[in-house]
């Protein structure tokens, strides 16, 4: 997709609002010359932040609203008072109306998902959207989904997640057939919940041209980078994400303590500083900030609420890349091919029913 990418921004979202969102948008605009912005929120606060970023101000249009969704609001609360008038809703509505190509918010995740489903709605074949996250691995990065959009999944939903995650991986990793694994308690086909086993059978038998189904993967395979895309339902995915984030912080704390323990350890740190800096950079959450809402009939990016300007700028750039590489078109294409494959393998309507198995 050539030309400029129009970014609708919930400027009041996140822990810090315009004080982080505006500098983050400015960083993205500086790195890319093809972005234009619609900034929704309190005009006085946004204009004050824009004063320090004249280059962004030149490519931004500020639209005022007094209403902002709080980070502590329940999704139902946000829908009641924030529908139609909040900065979050207006950013999403800009995508729905075709005024913007992507919406980016660091606001309340539950509220953003509820509003996005209500405002933009899902693709015809998709019942529930998912949040896809970039995950640093030993081999580079993988995509993990769902990391918290909804709890529970039947077999077909897991298959849809695999198809959508593979479409995103084709863009992010520039590969024709990303490898996909279903997260399970073991790699053996007899293990796991029935929904996961059924999804595995569907993916194995379908042999979809848009992805390479590897089978089941376990928790340690995520960090190992065994698959380009790891699929699970939102409850498990969110726990895995938060566990990984907590473990990374724990290890960082252990290293700081160890390096400060003695004079020799401090001297050793000086010599190993380059290696530690490289490790810190690889696991810097700002590099992969920006969860992509997959399954919506529009592109929506969720930035971490506590992200700084660098992190929010990264989320904006992820959104622009998803638009330029036509994420929605790739998902629709993959879903259509999947439906064709299922239709071709289904028995004809007048075929005799299989005899019932004896009990």
pTM here is 0.84
The structural domain count of the chain equals 2
**CA-to-CA distance for 313 and 288, rounded, in angstroms?**
11
Pair 316, 35: CB distance under 8 Å:
yes
Both 206 and 106 in one domain: the answer is no
- End residue of a domain, out of 265, 287, 309: 287
Looking at every residue in the chain, the average pLDDT score rounds to: 87
The residue among 108, 112, 81, 110 whose CA lies nearest residue 95 is 112
- Interval 9-28: pLDDT, tens: 999 999 999 999 999 999 99
Please tell me the predicted confidence (pLDDT) of residue 253. Answer: 81
- Reduce the DSSP state of residue 68 to 3 states and report it: coil
pLDDT tops 50 at residue 1: no
The total number of residues shown for the chain amounts to: 359
pLDDT tops 80 at residue 52: yes
**Contacts of 58 by beta carbon, 8 Å cutoff, 6+ apart:** none
Both 283 and 301 in one domain: the answer is no
List C-alpha distances in Å: 290 to 142, 225, 287. Answer: 14, 19, 9
**Contacts of 275 by beta carbon, 8 Å cutoff, 6+ apart:** none
Give 272 or 147, the one with higher predicted confidence: 147
Both 105 and 71 in one domain: the answer is yes
User: Can you give the CATH number for the domain in which 40 is found?
Assistant: 3.40.718.10
Range of the domain at 247: 127-287
**CA-to-CA distance for 104 and 121, rounded, in angstroms?**
16
- Interval 258-313: pLDDT, tens: 777 787 777 776 666 666 666 555 555 555 677 899 999 999 999 988 889 999 99
Pair 300, 95: CB distance under 8 Å:
yes
């Amino acid at each position: 997709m050539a030309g400029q990418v129009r970014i609708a921004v919930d400027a009041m979202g996140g822990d810090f609002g315009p004080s982080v969102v505006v500098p983050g948008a400015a960083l993205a605009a500086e790195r890319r010359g093809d972005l234009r912005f619609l900034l929704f929120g309190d005009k006085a606060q946004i204009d004050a932040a824009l004063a320090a970023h004249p280059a962004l101000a030149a490519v931004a249009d500020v639209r005022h609203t007094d209403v902002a969704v709080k980070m502590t609001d329940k999704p139902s609360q946000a829908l009641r008072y924030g529908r139609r008038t909040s900065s979050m809703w207006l950013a999403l509505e800009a995508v729905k109306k075709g005024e913007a190509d992507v919406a980016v918010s660091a606001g309340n995740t539950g509220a953003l998902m509820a509003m996005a489903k209500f405002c933009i709605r899902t693709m015809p074949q998709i019942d529930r959207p998912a949040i896809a996250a970039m995950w640093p691995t030993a081999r580079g990065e993988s995509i993990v989904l769902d990391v918290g959009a909804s709890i529970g999944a039947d077999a077909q939903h897991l298959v849809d997640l695999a198809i959508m995650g593979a479409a995103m991986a084709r863009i992010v990793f520039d590969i024709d057939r990303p490898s996909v694994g279903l997260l399970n308690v073991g790699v053996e086909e007899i293990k796991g919940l029935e929904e996961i086993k059924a999804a595995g059978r569907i993916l194995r038998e379908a042999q979809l041209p848009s992805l390479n189904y590897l089978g089941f993967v376990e928790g340690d395979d995520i960090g190992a980078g065994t698959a380009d895309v790891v699929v699970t339902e939102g409850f498990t995915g969110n726990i895995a994400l938060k566990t990984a984030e907590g473990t990374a912080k724990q290890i960082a704390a252990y290293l700081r303590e160890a390096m400060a323990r003695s004079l020799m350890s401090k001297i050793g740190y000086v010599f190993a500083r380059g290696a530690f800096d490289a490790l810190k950079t690889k696991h810097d959450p700002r590099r992969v900030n920006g969860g992509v809402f997959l399954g919506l009939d529009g592109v929506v990016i969720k930035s971490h609420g506590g992200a700084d300007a660098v992190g929010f700028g990264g989320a904006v750039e992820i959104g622009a890349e998803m638009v330029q590489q036509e994420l929605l078109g790739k998902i629709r294409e993959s879903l259509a091919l999947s439906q064709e494959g299922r239709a071709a393998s289904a028995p004809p309507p007048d075929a005799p029913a299989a005899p019932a198995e004896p009990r």
